[in-house]
Copies of this chain bind each other. A is one copy, B any other.
Amino acid sequence: METLEHTFSISEAAERTGLTTHTLRYYERTGLMLTPVDRASSTHRRFTEQDITWVSFLTKLRATSMPIARIREYVELVREGDESTASRLELLLRHRITVVAQLADMQRSLTAIDVKIAIYEEKVAHA
């Protein structure tokens, strides 16, 4: 059952990815989709499950501050097929290092803020 692949309109895709339709079109036009999005009825976009999956992943890359341009590089590697696996791994590993650094940095900043909070709490408690 369910052998036919289900597809989604742009607004359904927006709903599923948490992006706006504007942003989805922007991502496509700026070269961030693995393949051009299918068009049903000549013009309207039909997003496949794979498109949605990819957009969800690219959202993770964005959420960790990978710049659009870097994501585009990654996409180009994916398009090259299997032979680029090692390059893709390398790109992601490099990105991973920056993410871990970001997390550590943010954690350190949070600690500093917590120190301040503690001081204020003390102050407020004595008033």
A residues near B, CB below 8 A?
57, 60-61, 63-64, 82, 85-86, 88-89, 92-93, 95-96, 99-100, 102-103, 105-110, 112-114, 116-117, 120-121, 123-124, 127
Chain B nearest Cβ from A106, distance in angstroms: 6
Main secondary structure on A side of the interface with B: helix
Q: List 17 additional contacts besides A64-B110, A96-B117, A100-B110; criterion CB under 8 Å.
A: A57-B112, A60-B109, A60-B112, A61-B109, A61-B113, A63-B105, A64-B106, A64-B109, A64-B113, A82-B123, A85-B123, A89-B121, A92-B117, A92-B120, A103-B103, A103-B110, A106-B106
